[in-house]
Structure 1
């Protein structure tokens, strides 16, 4: 990916909800505001989610047909800097309605250019 394509892609992510997972298995869910050359990410209106301690994560064996559920604890953090060195995964949080709206806007823009 060249610089202009990368910049365009990052610009398209501005103010979208990102789910960022770190090396210590924490997950941050917030609005993407900016990044830098060290891959640090700034998120606004951020919630932090943590896995429960190991003794609580063992699945309950009530029956093999029932899936085990895992409750994550969360807290509101607000504005957060996630260091790039600790980022394992970045996901865009979009719902089907948002993806349909984006696709229809893309078609309108393409039609206007022809």
Structure 2
């Protein structure tokens, strides 16, 4: 089975799109970073390191210091698919992040986005 193309894309190539999506809706880069920290456990320094290294998405998630156990509370549809129904673990992690950024862009409060 061949790898999905998104797995080999560099995270630093996708990251600016997350920021642009958030900023278009009046949100900030620091909020995007906070979401990434919450989901993956990366510190700001570690995140910047991953971006500098142009780490691919598969490695970015594989090397995440601590995937948040509350991420299974993320529910809803992204790209026409329910995130909770995605069977492939890496794709589900990617879509969790997509969903959180989507919620940010839709104006949801950070406490709700971070499932507090």
Q: Which has the higher strand share?
A: 1
Bigger radius of gyration among the two: 1
Relative contact order, higher structure (CA 8 A, sep 6+):
2
TM above 0.5: no
TM-score range, shorter chain: under 0.3
State TM-score, norm by structure 1: 0.24
Q: Which has the higher helix share?
A: 2
